[in-house]
Amino acid sequence: MRLLSYNIHKGIGGLDRRYDLNRIVRVIEHENPDLVCLQEVTKHASRTRGDDQPDLLSKSLGLETSLFQMNVHYRKGGYGNLILSRWPFTTRHNISLRHGTRKPRGGQIVVVETPEGLLRMAHCHLGLVDSERKWQANHLLNHSLFHESEGLPTIVVGDCNDWRNRLSSDAFEEYGYTQVTTPPSRFRSFPAFLPTISLDKAFHLGLHIREAMMIRNPMSHRASDHLPLVVDFHLHERHLH
């Protein structure tokens, strides 16, 4: 199974500052993912022509199971997180990860009915300050809605803004999670045109990871200001053979 996590920067290119959602679609399509976790997706925002990006992306990619979470509101429209899936969700939740008076942030928790069994997946876009990220990660992992599906194999992905690479030791290790995106030097994702820091992360509990990689090609270097992260995995060891 393949998961793709991607901060699409509202469909605005990192170098040319041009809005072109089709570039994002082509980058994602090329990887043929089963699960897609996107950050900075707009809905009805003037800057992105009033487009309903969650709907456009779902239809363009042929992934009809979706969950959108609006976190930042403009005078008209706003932006947030989007999950798209080839398979249905048995549960779906959007939770607030806003810390104090800082910019609104959110997390999404779904249980996906995959061909290999149930998968718990959490998707987030974390803050810019170490203490904020540490609080957000702990808040997510301790949330009652996250614990509803305790015991399932789990993956947590998103734009963690964790440029110091502290989140694993600050939060995830304590709960038994393994970081997929390590060493950080192999997972530099920002800025897309010349990536120098690792911001986009994945952590897992009880999965069998086949491969994880940043997608580097001419289109991904232009389409957003982040590179996409792809993780290939199985829920159970028997599927490795």
Rounded Cα gap, residues 188 and 113, in angstroms: 31
CATH code of the domain covering residue 73: 3.60.10.10
Two tokens, residue 51: 């487009």
| Residue-number span of the structural domain to which 155 is assigned | 2-240
Two tokens, residue 185: 């030097």
- The reported pLDDT for the residue numbered 241 is 45
Number of domains in the chain: 1
Rounded Cα gap, residues 31 and 134, in angstroms: 31
CA distances from 152 to 149, 191, 204 (A): 6, 34, 11
- The reported pLDDT for the residue numbered 227 is 98
Two tokens, residue 115: 């061909």
CA distances from 208 to 113, 147, 212 (A): 17, 21, 11
Along the 241 residues of the chain, how does pLDDT read in single tens digits?
999 999 999 999 999 999 999 999 999 999 999 999 999 999 999 999 999 999 999 999 999 999 999 999 999 999 999 999 999 999 999 999 999 999 999 999 999 999 999 999 999 999 999 999 999 999 999 999 999 999 999 999 999 999 999 999 999 999 999 999 999 999 999 999 999 999 999 999 999 999 999 999 999 999 999 999 999 999 986 655 4
Rounded Cα gap, residues 129 and 156, in angstroms: 19
The type of residue at 23 is R
- The reported pLDDT for the residue numbered 236 is 86
Strands 35-43 and 2-7: parallel
- The reported pLDDT for the residue numbered 177 is 98
**CB-based burial, 51-62: b 16+ in 10 Å, e otherwise:** bbbbebbbebbe
Rounded Cα gap, residues 114 and 89, in angstroms: 9
Rounded Cα gap, residues 129 and 127, in angstroms: 6
Q: Is residue 200 within 8 Å of residue 179, measured between CB atoms? A: no
- The reported pLDDT for the residue numbered 101 is 92
pTM of the model: 0.97
CA distances from 37 to 99, 100, 158, 196 (A): 22, 25, 7, 22
Q: Is residue 44 within 8 Å of residue 71, measured between CB atoms? A: no
Rounded Cα gap, residues 223 and 192, in angstroms: 8
